[in-house]
Amino acid sequence: MIVKETSLKDCFVIEPTFFKDNRGCFLLEYNKKEFQEKTGFDGDFVLGNQSTSQYGVVRGLHLQRGEFAQAKLVRVVKGKILDVAVDARKGSETFGKVFSVELSADNNKQLFVPRGFLHGFSVLEDDTIVSYKCDNYYEPAAEDGVLFDDKDLNIDWQIPVDKVTLSEKDTKLKAFNGF
């Protein structure tokens, strides 16, 4: 596994070990010991989620507050996304900064998003399947988020605005400066 630091403190791009031969391929998706050694993350993933979406869907920006905060390890099983993390930890040296990376079934990259970060993604291909592990359980009352098109964050989701599809809930999120 190759671990690359991003421009955001404690946020990493992971390139898992991948083997390919005439039979097909094998991907070592996660090894707790190696992951901990290379990232410093000592939590346990306790929840696994998967979504299927069409081109133009934007999910996020979301986080869980307080004791329900979640770290996530995100990967794409099929298709392609632009995965986005925003450091929302007050006092962090990278507070309010944005990092994005293309994750796809072809490049096998993963993004580790630590607790206290907003997270979202835009779907760049139809029938894209995203799978992610969380280190804490979901609590609806702790859910929060920021508008995907927040002017201060100025995220390029790589989708024309007229092609973006949001959930009703995501249309009601607040601006980052009021977050």
Domains of the chain, earliest start first: 2-178 (2.60.120.10)
**DSSP symbol at 174:** B
Q: How confident is the model at residue 136 (pLDDT cuts 50, 70, 90)?
A: very high
Q: How far is CA 116 from the centre of its chain?
A: 12
Q: What angle do CA 136, 139, 142 make, to 5 degrees?
A: 105
Candidate list 30, 55, 62, 138, residue with the active-site label? 62
pLDDT tens figures, 41-91: 999 999 999 999 999 999 999 999 999 999 999 999 999 999 999 999 999
Q: Look up 132 and say whether it is catalytic.
A: yes
Q: Mind listing the pLDDT tens digit for each residue in 89-131?
A: 999 999 999 999 999 999 999 999 999 999 999 999 999 999 9
Q: Which of 30, 55, 119, 132 is catalytic?
A: 132
Q: What is the pLDDT of residue 133?
A: 97
pLDDT at 62: 97
Outline where the chain has alpha helix (H): 32-39
Angle in degrees, CA 11, 141, 56, rounded to 5: 55
Asked if the model's pLDDT at residue 174 lies above 90, the reply is: yes
**Whether 62 is catalytic:** yes
Mapped onto helix, strand or coil, the DSSP state of residue 36 is helix
Cis check: omega of the bond before 61, within 30 degrees of 0: yes
> pLDDT tens digits for 17-32?
889 899 998 989 999 9
> Cβ atoms within 10 A of the Cβ of 171, count?
9
Residue 178, pLDDT score: 84
| Averaged pLDDT for residues 141-169 | 97
- Structural contact between residues 73 and 109, judged by C-beta atoms closer than 8 angstroms: no
Question: Closest Cα to residue 111, out of 79, 81, 72, 77?
Answer: 72
Q: Distance (Å, rounded) from C-alpha 154 to C-alpha 13?
A: 21
Q: Is pTM beyond 0.85 here?
A: yes
The C-alpha torsion from 122 through 3 and 145 to 174, rounded to 10°, is -80
**Dihedral angle sign, alpha carbons of residues 81, 93, 148, 66:** positive
| Residue 173: predicted pLDDT | 95
